[in-house]
């Protein structure tokens, strides 16, 4: 068994749960931050044998990791194994000079800033607390603090967002010259408050927002960004090494409530309940988990699904049996996919239709194959 | 029993005028069944018949009244089964003509009355539902008397529902209907007026003995088709099948044949004894040919064997249903089926779906066309895709439509018939209020939603009946539908040249709306030969991505794609285009098309 070199740590705390969010989050609970860090470190100890001595990446996601109290946050970051890339997600309003100093102190190399939009009207729809000025201020503070690898998250397809709004948002983001931009289409996830309030409107505007993805890609690539993954763009090879590991099908360990791990043919997800998580680890036991065996076939299906998201070609040998050769030829004929020797990748047009192209390309296989452990 | 104590009769009526209720009441009043044994409408045995209130198969029952044996032969009441009705009537000497006191004479009343008169039947006119508040027994009696040429005083007024007057009907049957005129000493002859299939006993023939007598165990032969078999059992209907020691001239009953194929014993054929055969069959046998055709395909192509078995089972009991395997690029393996008419098609489809639990795609109904090819061969075409593009002549079946309508709708009925390429034949006032209109109309124009349109445009007041009157040449063209340049066989239609443009336009518009956008532009074209007459384009999708996909939701995203993959199985792949089944259904549902 090769040691895992990618670690994800989930910090669920937020000041407020945004309507569209379906991540595992809890708002407030400042009193529990220390206890939660204790639990994370306890889980880390229980799983440490799986990890390599020196990690490639650590990713602290949430929730809002930077909403955590400074003391427990610093304790957590200091206790994690060292890694070449250490990313922390931050909401702009939490980025104080003190926080920036803290992150520098503990060796964080990369900050992912959840801007989402610069338009007050749209930020209000999203229930975000930070305004455009908060984003700019946070960005400046990170730069002042010496961070040279900052990512900005943007959303498009927000209810009421016109094409001009989106162009303005992209312009505002580019003005800050982040090394990395993640640009996601807003999804109305079932069961969220947001879907309840805006689902019908999102469905209505589906036609008019159809071209937004093209607009995003055109604008960012024209500004010199590399469209290296469906929703991710970077300057100067500054890809997110942590996310890239997932897209390349590497194993990763996840700590914290709701965190997912995939290690050696097994995937598990910690149950989302905070209380049970704290209780188990306080007692020195692993938290409650859902297990999912990942068979060889499933692994290849995922490799195909994730690999086609990248601009980097995918080795056909790595997805042997997971794809349909006839469909591959068909997609090639339609100009949606190109072959480069023993590798393939989607063309630009193919990437806009990446979901459909992947479905097309997937080989027919009996459903039960997919859950049998490999 | 001696012939002069036998009366054989039918009840003929328009749908919903109370035929089955009267039959039930007769069974009850004569004490054939106790009321405990009575079910509503004993004679309609199929679930579908009960639900629709129509009779699909002829049935018979023997009752006794005032020392006479009365055989009631219940006839199918719909135009699709006219031939079966005529055979059932031929087995009788009299008919009760039943008319609703509130609605008066309707198209079917007229058609069936004429059929009875042609068969020299003694007609007993009866006005039913006199208990209804809106009943007009005197007015309707006058109409009826005029139709059959009797004194209005001879028209009976009853309520089958309450039983009021039913005894008088039975009296009238005994008094007015002549006894059968057969010769008990002559070589045995019996008319087959229907048959049914029993899974244990094989084909059971419903017969009217005309001459001589039949005994169990005798070798029998059908005179038209030459099928020989042994009469395993004979009997009468009371109303369940009850075996008897013989069946003699004038009587109505059944013969268990042991035959395994209903097609070998056709309605209208004559049974005789092999030992002492009759010289001449009962006249009037005709081989009934299906006029309406449609492709039946299982929605789930794996269900083909089930469809095949189900059709074979239905066919056992329905000699007029014909089918042969059909392969469509678009819809896969199925069957091209021939039906007597639209109702027949509907009944078969419903029985397949209901009794056999099949999910079907039914292609647009087409009629039988006669084609003279360039080579001078005559060809019958049942499937638009078989229509040769070049030909000397194409002929299509015509019907003579009889429509009875209140006079205020005469204009709208005429308009409908003109729209449907109908040729005016004649028109007469039946009463001051009601008009009979007769048109010759191409059957192809009727198999779409003619009947619905007629009902809709006359607020349900007009009634309609028809006879097929033969083939006439027509300016017919084959309209093909192409998806991404490939013709879709299941969507081809034969239409009149004048209609082709409008129909083609509607079809491509509907397909554009129904087919989801693909990963490339898909032209949808309607063409006659190589000439495209209508075109739409399904624009390619511009975006189809799972926007966000991080380590925590790989499983969920994978399952989503797998679900989409699974969903594609329900799509039909036509060349490079994926078409959901619903699109076919919507396009093939031509009922709506006329309204668009």
Kindly determine whether residue B519 and residue A301, on different chains, have CB atoms separated by under 8 Å: no
Q: Is the peptide bond before B76 cis (omega within 30 degrees of 0)?
A: no
User: CATH fold of A6-247, please?
Assistant: pyruvate-formate lyase- activating enzyme (3.80.30)
Q: Do B547 and A231 touch (CB under 8 A)?
A: yes
Q: Are A36 and A11 in contact (CB under 8 A)?
A: yes
**Cα four-point dihedral sign B576, B582, B588, B590:** negative
Judged against a pLDDT cut of 60, whether residue A281 lies above it is answered with yes
Cα nearest neighbour of A356 on chain B = B544
* B40 at A interface, C-beta within 8 A: no
How do residues A348-359 score in pLDDT, each as one tens digit? 999 999 999 999
Outline where DSSP puts E strands in B270-422.
270-273, 292-298, 322-328, 332-339, 360-362, 366-367, 369-372, 378-381, 393-406
Q: Nearest-CA distance from B557 to chain A in Å?
A: 9
The pLDDT assigned to B398 comes to 95
The Cα of A165 is separated from the nearest Cα of chain B by a number of Å equal to: 19
What pLDDT score was predicted for residue B49?
A: 52
- Asked if B106 and B405 count as a contact pair (C-beta separation under 8 A), the reply is no
Nearest CA in chain B to A10: B552
Pick the residue of A23, A333, A357, A358 with the most B CBs within 10 A to test the interface with B by mutation: A358
Task: Please name the residues between 471 and 530 in chain B that touch chain A, using a CB distance below 8 Å.
Answer: 519-520
In B45-121 the beta strands, taken as DSSP E runs, fall at: 59-65, 68-74, 94-100
Residues of A in contact with B547 (CB under 8 A): 184-185, 187, 230-231
B545 interaction partners in chain A (CB closer than 8 Å) = 185, 213, 230-231, 351-355
- Report how far residue A280's alpha carbon sits from residue A229's, in angstroms, rounded to the nearest whole number: 38
Residues 555-574 of chain B with CB under 8 A from chain A are: 555, 557-558, 561-562, 564-566, 568
B185 CB near a chain A CB, below 8 Å? no
Contact criterion met (CB below 8 Å) for A308 and A315: no
Q: Tokens for A145? A: 């603090």
**Burial A102-137, CB ≥16 within 10 A → b, else e:** bbeebebbbbbbbbbbbbeebbebbebbbbbebbbb
In terms of Cα–Cα distance, which of B127, B122, B88, B131 is closest to B105? B127
Of the ranges A293-302, A341-350, B9-18, which one carries the lowest mean pLDDT score? B9-18
Residues of A in contact with B520 (CB under 8 A): 334
Picking from B55, B22, B23, B60, the residue whose alpha carbon sits closest to that of residue B193 is: B60
CB atoms under 10 Å from CB of B44, counted, come to 24
Give contacts of A301 with chain B, Cβ < 8 Å: 558, 562
Q: Is B460's Cβ below 8 Å from some Cβ in A?
A: no
**Is residue A119 pLDDT above 80, yes or no?**
yes
The total of other beta-carbon atoms located within 10 Å of residue B498's CB is 11
Question: Nearest chain A Cα to B545, which residue?
Answer: A355
Mean pLDDT of A58-77: 92
Give the phi and the psi of residue A218 in degrees, each rounded to 5: -65, -45
d(CA B31, CA B47): 25
> pLDDT, tens digit, for every residue of B398-421?
999 999 999 999 999 999 999 999
The pLDDT of residue A317 is above 90 = yes
Residues of chain B with pLDDT under 70: 1, 33-58, 76-80, 586, 588-596
- Cα separation, A163 vs A169, whole angstroms: 10
Cβ distance A318 to A307 under 8 Å? yes
Q: What is the pLDDT of residue B40?
A: 53
Spell out which residues of chain A touch residue B565, defining contact as CB-CB under 8 Å: 359, 362, 364
Q: Are strands B252-256 and B233-237 parallel, antiparallel or unpaired?
A: antiparallel
Q: Which residue of A has its CA nearest to B564?
A: A359
Residue of A nearest to B546 (CA): A355
In this predicted model, what pLDDT tens digit does every residue of A76-98 receive, in sequence order? 999 999 999 999 999 999 999 99
pTM for the predicted model, two decimal places: 0.69
Domain boundaries, chain A: 6-247, 297-361
In CATH terms, the fold of domain A297-361 is Arc Repressor Mutant, subunit A (1.10.10)
Contact across the interface for B564 and A359, Cβ inside 8 Å: yes
Q: Which residue has the higher pLDDT, A369 or B556?
A: B556
The β-bridge partners of B64 are: B69
Indicate whether A266 pLDDT > 80: yes
């Amino acid at each position: 068994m090769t040691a895992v070199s990618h670690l994800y740590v989930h910090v669920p705390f937020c000041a407020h749960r945004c309507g569209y969010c379906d991540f595992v989050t809890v708002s407030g609970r400042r009193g529990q931050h220390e206890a939660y860090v204790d639990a994370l470190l306890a889980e880390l100890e229980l799983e440490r044998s799986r990890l390599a001595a020196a990690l490639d990446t650590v990713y602290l996601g949430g929730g809002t990791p930077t909403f955590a109290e400074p003391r427990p946050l610093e304790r957590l970051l200091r206790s994690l194994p060292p890694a070449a890339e250490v990313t922390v997600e931050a909401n702009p309003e939490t980025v104080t000079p003190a926080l920036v100093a803290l992150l520098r102190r503990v060796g964080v190399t990369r900050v992912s800033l959840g801007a989402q939009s610069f338009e007050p009207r749209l930020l209000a729809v999203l229930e975000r607390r930070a305004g455009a000025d908060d984003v700019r201020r946070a960005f400046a503070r990170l730069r002042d603090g010496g961070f040279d690898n900052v990512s900005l998250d943007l959303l498009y397809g927000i209810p009421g967002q016109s094409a001009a709004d989106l162009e303005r948002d992209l312009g505002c983001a580019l003005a800050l010259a982040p090394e990395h931009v993640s640009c996601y289409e807003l999804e109305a996830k079932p069961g969220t408050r947001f879907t309840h309030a805006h689902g019908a409107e999102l469905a209505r505007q589906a036609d008019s927002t159809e071209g937004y993805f093209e607009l995003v890609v055109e604008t960012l690539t024209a500004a010199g960004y590399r469209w290296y993954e469906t929703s991710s763009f970077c300057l100067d090879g500054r890809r997110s090494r942590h996310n890239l590991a997932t897209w390349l099908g590497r194993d990763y360990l996840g700590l914290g409530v709701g965190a997912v791990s995939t290690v050696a043919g097994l995937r598990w997800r910690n149950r989302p309940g905070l209380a049970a998580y704290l209780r188990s680890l306080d007692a020195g036991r692993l938290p409650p988990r859902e297990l999912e065996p990942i068979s060889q076939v499933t692994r290849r299906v995922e490799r195909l699904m994730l690999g086609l998201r990248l601009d980097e070609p995918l080795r056909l040998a790595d997805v042997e049996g997971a794809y349909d050769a006839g469909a591959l030829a068909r997609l090639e004929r339609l100009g949606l996919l190109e072959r480069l020797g023993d590798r393939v990748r989607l063309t630009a047009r193919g990437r806009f239709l990446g979901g459909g192209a992947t479905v097309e390309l997937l080989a027919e296989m009996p459903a039960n194959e997919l859950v049998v452990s490999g | 029993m001696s012939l002069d104590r036998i009366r054989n009769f039918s009840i003929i009526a328009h749908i919903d005028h109370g035929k089955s209720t009267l039959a039930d009441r007769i069974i009850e009043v004569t004490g054939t069944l106790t009321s405990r044994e009575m079910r509503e409408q004993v004679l309609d045995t199929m679930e579908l018949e009960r639900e629709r209130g129509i009779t699909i198969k002829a049935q018979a029952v023997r009752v006794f009244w005032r020392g006479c044996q009365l055989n009631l032969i219940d006839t199918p009441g719909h135009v699709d089964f006219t031939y079966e009705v005529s055979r059932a009537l031929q087995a009788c000497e009299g008919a009760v003509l039943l008319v609703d006191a509130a609605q008066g004479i309707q198209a079917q009343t007229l058609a069936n009355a004429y059929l009875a008169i042609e068969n020299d039947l003694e007609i007993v006119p009866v006005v039913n539902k006199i208990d209804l508040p809106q009943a007009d027994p005197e007015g309707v009696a006058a109409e009826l008397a005029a139709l059959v040429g009797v004194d209005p005083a001879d028209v009976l007024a009853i309520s089958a529902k309450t039983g009021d007057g039913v005894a008088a009907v039975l009296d009238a049957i005994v008094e007015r209907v002549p006894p059968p005129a057969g010769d008990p000493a002559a070589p045995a002859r019996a008319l087959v007026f229907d048959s049914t299939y029993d899974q244990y006993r094989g084909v059971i023939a419903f017969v009217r003995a005309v001459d001589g007598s039949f005994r169990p165990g005798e070798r029998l032969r059908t005179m038209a088709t030459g099928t020989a078999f042994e009469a395993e059992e004979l009997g009468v209907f009371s109303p369940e099948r009850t075996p008897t020691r013989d069946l003699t001239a004038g009587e109505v009953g059944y013969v268990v044949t042991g035959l395994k194929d209903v097609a070998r014993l056709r309605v209208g054929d004559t049974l005789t004894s092999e030992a002492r055969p009759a010289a001449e069959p009962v006249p009037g046998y005709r081989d009934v040919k299906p006029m309406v055709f449609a492709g039946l395909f299982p929605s789930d192509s794996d269900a083909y064997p089930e469809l095949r078995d189900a059709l074979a089972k239905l066919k056992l009991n329905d000699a007029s249903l014909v089918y042969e395997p059909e392969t469509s690029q678009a819809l896969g393996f199925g069957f091209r089926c021939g039906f007597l008419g639209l109702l027949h098609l509907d009944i078969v489809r419903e029985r397949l779906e209901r009794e056999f639990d099949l999910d079907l795609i039914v292609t647009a109904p087409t009629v039988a066309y006669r084609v003279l090819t360039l080579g001078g061969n005559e060809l019958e075409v049942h499937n638009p895709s078989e229509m040769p593009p070049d030909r000397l002549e194409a002929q299509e079946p015509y019907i003579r439509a009889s429509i009875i309508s209140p006079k205020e709708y005469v204009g709208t009925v005429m308009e409908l018939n003109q729209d449907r390429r109908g040729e005016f034949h004649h028109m007469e006032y039946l009463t001051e209020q009601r008009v009979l209109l007769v048109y010759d109309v191409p059957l192809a124009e009727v198999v779409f939603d003619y009947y619905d349109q007629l009902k809709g445009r006359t607020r349900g007041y007009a009634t309609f009946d028809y006879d097929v009157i033969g083939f006439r040449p027509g300016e017919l063209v084959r309209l093909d539908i192409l998806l991404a340049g490939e013709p879709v066989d299941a969507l081809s239609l034969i239409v009149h040249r004048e209609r082709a443009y409008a129909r083609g336009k509607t079809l491509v518009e509907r397909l554009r709306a129904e087919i989801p956008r693909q990963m490339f532009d898909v032209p949808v074209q309607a063409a006659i030969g190589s000439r495209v007459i209508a075109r739409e384009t399904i624009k390619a999708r511009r975006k189809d991505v799972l926007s966000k996909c991080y380590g925590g939701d790989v499983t969920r995203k994978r399952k989503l794609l797998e679900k989409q993959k699974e969903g594609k199985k329900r799509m039909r792949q036509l060349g490079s285009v994926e078409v959901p089944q619903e699109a076919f259904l919507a396009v093939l549902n031509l009922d709506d098309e006329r309204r668009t």
